[in-house]
Chains A and B, each alone.
Chain A
């Protein structure tokens, strides 16, 4: 995966920040977190395929405590949510982030199409992502990341 242009980092940050602010009233801050997630650490993952205007992929990965925090804020409950709802919250967040990102990139001039999110609890090796390609953020000292593929082609659409 080629490195993202710097201006796309800002657009991604706005999509990520706007989504979590809208969904759960939290403000993620960008951090330099090379090496996250640790080898063997299980994260919650949601991957969205971009099928138009050009192929791409948007992946959101977060540790379980962040998924649980978002659920607690959204649902107003502190009871353990269970993995299915953790996957669900990641799926919806990734879906909205990808929508915000493409809307901002394409400025409404070109339509886009997203696939159904694919979610799992897994290590980064299972997801076949390179840590160095991720953009990382923190909410209350919990680090999470996003990976975007194909944006350099999509932005030219």
Chain B
């Protein structure tokens, strides 16, 4: 079973992203939630997370800082990350990829877009932890 962490300060956005992931094929995943980057980092440090979806604009610690902290951590630096943004700025997307995001998705996110991203991240199908 995959362990997925969703970091977003909006409870609605977290629920929506979770539904998107479920429709996109991760119905049997374990979902964890964090309302800011600091809480997300604490969960990630416990280990066992297979994928992080993170919003960029969050209080306490924003998404960019969370990506920097993950990149700087030898334990976490290989973690697949989907960065979720409210903008369609190619320069910003490039910056997020340089910070370690595998995928940058601009809202609105559809289950179809999510499924395409998951196929890249979990080419084995996403149901079993490698």
Contacts and interface: CB of A to CB of B under 8 A. Distances in A.
Contacts of B87: 99, 111-114
Contacts, number: 57
B86 A99 contact: yes
B108 to A, nearest CB: 5
B12 A85 contact: yes
B88 A108 contact: yes
Interface string B69-113: 000000000000000001111111000000000000011101000
Interface string B9-45: 0111101100100000000000000000000000000
Contacts of B10: 88, 91-92
A111 B93 CA distance: 11
A92 B88 contact: no
B12 A103 contact: no
Contacts of A99: 86-88, 106-108
A22 B12 contact: no
B57 interface: yes
A108 B89 CA distance: 9
B12 A114 contact: no
A113 B91 CA distance: 12
Interface residues of A, number: 27
Interface in A76-96: 85, 88-89, 91-93, 95-96
B86 A95 contact: yes
Interface residues of B, number: 19
Nearest to A18: B108
Nearest to A103: B88
A74 B110 contact: no
Nearest to B58: A116
A30 B11 CA distance: 28
A18 B108 CA distance: 9
B119 to A, nearest CB: 20
Contact of B11 (A88, A102, A103, A112): A88
A68 interface: no
B18 to A, nearest CB: 10
Contacts of A106: 88
A74 B90 contact: no
A89 B108 contact: no
A93 B108 CA distance: 10
Contacts of B90: 111
Interface of A: 18-19, 22-23, 71, 74-75, 85, 88-89, 91-93, 95-96, 98-100, 102-103, 106, 108, 111-114, 116
Given A74-B19, A75-B15, A99-B106, 15 more contacts: A22-B110, A23-B16, A74-B15, A88-B10, A88-B12, A92-B13, A92-B16, A95-B13, A95-B107, A99-B107, A99-B108, A102-B88, A103-B106, A112-B89, A114-B86
